[in-house]
Chains A and B, each alone.
Chain A
């Protein structure tokens, strides 16, 4: 099955700086890559996703890039704010099973 690896496991940045979280996957059949944000004690929330026919997608301060050849994708958060502090998970999914495989998470702390 698919294996998703995520780095780093923890990340601290100063407010206003950028944060980058990287994930790799193993199954070339994976074609959908969502990112989830999970605040303490709350459910994972989808923040951005990208499909395999797209190399980059942006939504305000958040962007995701995908390199299908290298089988890796990254989350970029610019102008970080304290409310960005949370655990971020990447995931990979592919047809026909539409199974979602998650990374182990990155705990992001934005220091005011």
Chain B
């Protein structure tokens, strides 16, 4: 599969535990995004990377959330001390992100469904 892949597909955790999700973008894509989606809502932006640089982070994002993309390829999203309100689908997306090209097509992964008990 040459699309965006995410692991795991589902994660059930207890409140207070830390969780980490992984995203592998399409191989030639420079830009990687993390979104959160709850039932009946559109994807909500969390953060995005251009190669290994984290360029923007949502102001809504708690300090308990951190994301990395150390080599400009795969990315991880960690949530520390999870709360029940963190329960959601976490979507990763990638785009080519060519310099000077603002409107790149965004391709999504299948997401990681997080349930915090």
CB of A73 within 8 A of chain B? no
- Known A98-B31, A100-B45, A102-B42: A42·B110 in contact at CB below 8 Å: yes
Interface residues of A in 70-98 (CB under 8 A from B): 89, 91, 93-98
Interface residues on A, range: 20 to 34
Q: How far is the CA of A32 from the CA of B105 in the complex (A)?
A: 9
B15 smallest CB distance to A (angstroms) = 25
Which of B42, B91, B102 has the most A CB atoms < 10 Å from its CB? B42
Residues of B within 8 A of A (CB): 4, 31, 33, 35, 40-45, 48, 55-56, 91, 93, 95, 97, 102-111
Q: Are B41 and A93 in contact (CB under 8 A)?
A: no
Question: A31 contacts which chain B residues (CB < 8 A)?
Answer: 102-103
Q: Are B44 and A49 in contact (CB under 8 A)?
A: no
Residues of A within 8 A of B (CB): 4, 6, 31-32, 34, 36, 42-46, 49, 51, 89, 91, 93-105
Closest 10 CB pairs of A and B: A95-B102, A32-B103, A102-B42, A43-B108, A43-B110, A44-B108, A102-B43, A89-B42, A104-B42, A105-B42
A55 smallest CB distance to B (angstroms) = 16
Question: B103 contacts which chain A residues (CB < 8 A)?
Answer: 31-32, 49, 51, 93, 95, 98
Q: A32-B102, A98-B102 are in contact. List 6 more A-B contacts (CB 8 A).
A: A31-B103, A42-B110, A44-B43, A89-B42, A97-B55, A99-B45
